[in-house]
Structure 1
Amino acid sequence: MDVSDQQTGQPDEDSARLHALGYAQELKRTMSAFSNFAVSFTIISILSGCLTLYGFGMKTGGPAAMIWGWPLVGLFVVLVGLGMAEVCSSYPTAGGLYYWAAKLATRNGPAWSWFTGWFNLIGQIAVTAGIDFGAALFLNAFLDLQWGFSATPGHTILLLAIILVVHGVLNTFGVRVVAVLNSVSVWWHLVGVLVIVGVLVFVPAKHQEASFVFGSFVNQTGWGSAPYVFLLGLLLAQYTLTGYDASAHMTEETKNAAKAGPRGIINSILVSLVAGWILLIGLTFAIQDYDGAVNSATGVPPAQIFIDATGAVTGKFLLLICIGAQLFCGMASVTANSRMIYAFARDGAIPGSKIWHNINKRTQTPTNAVWLVSCVRNS
């Protein structure tokens, strides 16, 4: 495809820059800076990562590890994000990390690029599967509470398959639909956190003491080393604060990409850090029965905390807010993952590259890559 603007016939700055980096403009460049930020913010998804692993955190260090581990991990994530944003401003391509590795390596660039690309690809597929599996767990818990659709492994896998198909269909319709949904997702997450924390502050008859929230260390792992268990507890923050490289993967579809991409990376991290810490503190203060939540029959400790603190009706309402956010998160993760596959295939680095690099002529999106992501995650 020509790098010229369709209306003026003159090269636009984004397409010209992409052409200088060695690629033609094939994807539709319609995303705004806010939409670019929204993709990364949605993939980080504090209502997905924080709550999916909250039960894990309750066993591996408890409140102290979760509350203090969040800003500790966040500090290092900000440093990594700043470095990535700097490189993204120079190389705004959908390939992201693997392309940067090739350009920045002093020697053996192709080898570093290949290894980086495959680690990135495998990691994205795994984390996207984890996101939708978490959404299936929470959805199964809600269906069990509301209609008795028991929270069994078989039912959870069935829901996972349905969610994957829905996300594949949504991403097939094109970048405009995804951009709109991601923009909605930003406000869903922010307002959702305010609603959840607000309800947990004002509705429960009692709350935990501050000494419990900020100083209680719980070890139910079987390991005797407290420092080691604390490090395990950091996984909650580490799992949540990932995926911000999505802003880089979406740069070929973003206007003013050299600025919007880096800003999307940094802003998504900073907003998530603040909102996520508020969520963790609010949820931990509202715990009524610690052991009861850990061993909840729903298999989802946050759902049990909601119900114990606010009652069945309000608790299920809060659970629905979380499920909506997790579904948004999975959809955005498919989007970013498919763009990385598209770029990697464009450079001939994966089997069947010609198939996965193919662009849908109607939507100008990598539809084949979208369905590859959806199918591989379900397997």
Structure 2
Amino acid sequence: MSKPTTTTAGQTLTADEALLAQLGYKQEMKRELSSFTNYGVALSTICICSGLTSLFGYGLNTGGPAIMVWGWVVVAFFTLMVGLAMAEICSAFPTAGGLYYWAARLSRPEHKAFASWMTGWFNLLGQIAVTAGVVFGLALIIGATASIASDFSFSPTASDIVYIHIAISFSIGLANSLPPKFMATIMFVSTIWQVVTPFLIIICVLAMAPTHQTASYVFTDYENNTGIDSNAWVVLVGLLTAQFTFTGYDASAHMTEETKRADIAGPVGIVMAIVASAVTGFIFIIGLLFGMQDYTNTIGTATGLPLAQILYDSTGKNVTIFLMVMLIICCWFASYSCLLANSRVIYAFSRDGAIPGSKYWHIIHPTLKIPLNATWLACLLYAILAIPSIWNSAAFTAITSIATIGLYISYGIPIACKLLNPHLFEKPGPFSLGRYSNVVGVASIVWILVISVLFVLPEVMPVTAVNMNYACVLVGAVLFGAALTYAFSARHWFHGPVINVTSADLSGLSDEKDYAVTA
């Protein structure tokens, strides 16, 4: 272990605190997370049970089993490229600001503020959207479970789902308002739960299903219920099932100011969460497809959730309810983890004055040592995002699309900055890709550009006001809104990440001139 560092001001700092000071920030939150629980935050945020449960029906309609299986493999590979590129940068700059801080550090002085501003807003709104999607998916699971428990006499309405969504948002807000030691305990349990639940479901489905689909069906059957004539188009938009699931692994980076040995734990958490999710998700998908009894009955399920119908047809009512409760707990943990990361992004971005009302959102509670105000702001936004689904059934899909695109644009900007300005990344952290760094970076940028185009395309034909993919509208609103706000206002007062350490805090720290960010 690294020895503590003593500054000329007489402060004794741990290695993590010293590195954070060199990056420009004081240690304000408690470091309660270990490498394992930091990894657990990213694993729980990805949460294959949440993403695949809520979008399983979407996958069955847009390409069917073949695209769900092989699309997962393709998406997992390129997601790993993006994750590796991000992990390398995270190792050098482990701060709660994460991506928008990286964009500033890896941009030339004249571009620093704009790159940081755009990255921060895409990351913030993408994270809020993805968490709203996770919470909404959990509300659908709860509604489907209630339907099964009532022998289908109860069918949740759109309003019912929104009420459940708001209740879940409140519950994760309360849980995130507990002291940090509870956070570490919850993340430890969640990490185990995220692994146990999908395997338990698959074991039950395969062991109890009356019949099984053939390998030919699972790996080669193609289905198209979108109304789109182009099979290539359907295949491409079908990748959303996997790509939405593979989001949020930047959570490990946002938790680095609360993680011990953050320059190693943060990047390893990002990469291992992607790898573990890729393997588990592949098994989860093929297991459910083998256990599916009837395709038509599944996509037309009265539960409103095709995965619930697969469980019901395979295992019966009682076991299905038990497995659905396991899923509910798993997805609640995912919602909790997403809020953890969201609140830290709001806190960090507000710390640099980039959000309206910043003086309220970057406050650290004096006793709890957590960004309490930022936590509840995020919960309020989740509740608001669910409301449009009362009138428009396409709202949830729009949320998943903007979440995916918004997050991946924010992932891509700092990676692109690093490729364009290699001289600004001369001191990599302990996690380094070495000679493969540029190859991985280029592959990441190409993939991000591809999916950013794909997920604004129409997902069904003919396009109507109800089924339209509103992601193009929402992405455009974020892009032009953030850019115009910067052009007419923020460029005069936002200068990128601003240090909150003094010269005395930095005195005595090695290489502080190489690390500290100036306004």
TM over 0.5: yes
Contact 2:43 2:194 in 1 (8 A): no
* 1:250 equivalent in structure 2: 255
Structure 2 residue corresponding to 1:335, chosen from 324, 340, 343: 340
| 1:348 pairs with one of 346, 350, 353 | 353
1:221 counterpart (214, 222, 226): 226
Q: Is the 8 A contact 2:37 2:191 kept in 1?
A: no
CA shift for structure 1 position 183: 1.4
Q: CA–CA distance in 2 between the matches of 1:4 and 1:11?
A: 6
Q: Is the 8 Å Cα contact of residues 355 and 368 (structure 1) preserved in structure 2?
A: yes
Q: 1:72 aligns with which of 71, 74, 80?
A: 74
Taking only aligned residues, the RMSD between alpha carbons, in angstroms, comes to 1.4
**21-30 vs 338-347, which deviates more?**
21-30
Query: How far 1:4 moved relative to its partner?
Result: 7.5
Residue matched to 1:88 = 90
Quote the Cα distance in structure 2 between the aligned partners of 1:218 and 1:235: 15
- Residue matched to 2:447: none
CA–CA separation in structure 1 for the residues paired with 2:93 and 2:149: 49
* Counterpart selection for 2:319 from 311, 314, 317: 314
Residue 233 of structure 1 corresponds to 238
**Deviation (angstroms), 1:321:** 1.5
1:61-102, CA deviations, whole angstroms, 9 ceiling, x for partnerless residues? Answer: 000000000010011000000010000000000000000000
Distance 1:61 1:341 in 2: 37
Give the structure 1 partner of residue 122 of structure 2: 119
Residue equivalent to 1:11 = 13
Contact 1:178 1:332 in 2 (8 A): no
* 1:354-365 correspondence to structure 2 within 5 Å: 354-365=359-370
CA contact (8 A) 2:146 2:154 kept: yes
Matched with 1:134 is: 137
1:40-70, CA deviations, whole angstroms, 9 ceiling, x for partnerless residues?
Answer: 0000001001111000000000000000000
Whether the 8 Å contact between 1:89 and 1:259 is mirrored in structure 2 is yes
Task: Write the distance in 1 (CA, Å) between the matches of 2:327 and 2:139.
Answer: 11
Worse-matched range after superposition: 278-287 or 139-148:
139-148
Q: Measure, in 1, the Cα distance between the counterparts of 2:293 and 2:99.
A: 44
TM-score (norm 2): 0.71
C-alpha spacing 1:162/1:4, structure 2 compared with 1 (3 Å)? farther
2:147 maps to what in 1? 144
Q: Which is further off, 57-66 or 10-19?
A: 10-19
Name the counterpart of 1:162.
167
CA contact (8 A) 2:65 2:221 kept: yes
User: AA paired with 2:245?
Assistant: T
Q: What does residue 184 of structure 1 align with? A: 189
Shift of 1:154: 1.2
Give the CA deviation at 1:271: 0.5
Alpha-carbon distance, 1:156 to partner: 0.7
The answer as to whether partners of 1:4 and 1:15 remain within 8 angstroms in 2 is: no
Query: Residue type of the partner of 1:21?
Result: L
Verify the 8 A CA contact 1:57 1:233 in the aligned structure 2. yes
Sequence identity of aligned pairs in percent?
46
Return the match for 1:283 from 268, 284, 288: 288
Offset from partner CA, 1:117-148 (integer Å, 9 cap, x none)? 00000100101000000000000111122145
In the alignment, structure 1 residue 60 sits paired with structure 2 residue 65: no
Alignment of 1:187-226 (within 5 A): 187-226=192-231
Task: Point out where structure 2 has 5 or more consecutive residues left out of the alignment.
Answer: 385-519
The residue number in structure 1 matching 2:105 is 103
Letter in 1 for 2:132: A
The 3-state SS of whatever aligns with 1:360 is coil
Matched, 1:266 2:276: no
Equivalent in the alignment of 2:304: 299
Residue aligned with 1:273, SS: helix
Partners of 1:374 and 1:4 lie apart in 2 by: 40
Distance 1:180 1:374 in 2: 22
How far has the Cα of 1:179 moved from its partner? 2.0
* Cα drift, residue 175 of structure 1: 2.3
Offset, 1:311: 1.0
Residue ranges of structure 1 left out of the alignment (5+ in a row): none
Equivalent pair of 2:44/2:334 in contact (CA under 8 Å): yes
CA distance in 2, matches of 1:207, 1:309: 9
Separation in 1 of the partners of 2:35 and 2:84? 17
Q: Cα offset for 1:193? A: 1.5
Helix, strand or coil: the match of 2:13? Answer: coil
Q: CA–CA distance in 1 between the matches of 2:202 and 2:144?
A: 20
2:155–2:302 Cα contact (<8 Å) kept:
no
Q: For 2:181 and 2:332, how far apart are their aligned partners in 1? A: 18
For 1:215 and 1:48, locate their aligned partners in 2 and report how far apart those are by CA, in whole Å.
25
Largest Rg, 1 or 2: 2
The range that moved more, 317-326 or 255-264, is 317-326
State the 4+ residue runs in structure 1 displaced beyond 6 angstroms. Answer: none
